[in-house]
Amino acid sequence: MVRGWSLADQVELLFAYGESRGISAAYRAIAVATGENATNIRKIHHGENLNPGLQLLRAITHYFHVDLDYFNCTTRAACTAYLSTIAQRKLLDHIEKQSVGLSEAGRAYIERTIDYIRRAEGLPPLGD
């Protein structure tokens, strides 16, 4: 029997995503930060709670800095793509906020730096 993509699988991927960004996936750390119960978080992670409340899911997504929409994906590929999109959007938002007030020369320097990094990673520069 082939097992489908489950809530526990989604939570596992979300934990890995968070840890790759320096966010602890320890049940106690999540519980302390969210005010939720560590046992409930563990039960979701281990597939023992297949129908957690909306408040708990909101707390988990907030903790890992993603949107509740994350739990709408139905495959590993879709969840991975979603997390990649979230990370990309957050990076772009950060760059935009940090560049407020910079001169045209400063903004051009940022663009050249990004192009340089893209070439170093074997990616083509992006056109306008």
Tens of pLDDT along 10-47?
A: 999 999 999 999 999 999 999 999 999 999 999 999 99
- 7-120 CATH: 1.10.260
Instruction: Report the chain's mean pLDDT, rounded to a whole number.
Output: 91
Look at residue 2 in the predicted model and tell me its pLDDT.
41
Residue 38 has what pLDDT?
96
CA distances from 119 to 87, 90, 108 (A): 21, 22, 17
- The helix or strand, by DSSP H or E, that contains position 66, with its residue range, turns out to be none
Amino acid at site 2 = V
- At residue 125, the pLDDT reads 75
Measure the CA–CA gap between 59 and 94, rounded to whole angstroms.
23
Q: What is the pLDDT of residue 127?
A: 66
Question: Which residues are CB-neighbours of 33 under 8 A, at least 6 positions away?
Answer: 63
Q: What is the residue whose two structure tokens read 């997390």?
A: 83
Compare 4 and 53 and report the one with higher pLDDT: 53
Chain position carrying tokens 């495959």: 75
pLDDT at 3 over 60: no
Gyration radius of the chain over CA positions: 19
| Length of the chain (residues) | 128
pTM metric for this prediction: 0.73
pLDDT at residue 123 is higher than 50: yes
pLDDT at site 41: 96
- Residue 39, classed as helix, strand or coil, is helix
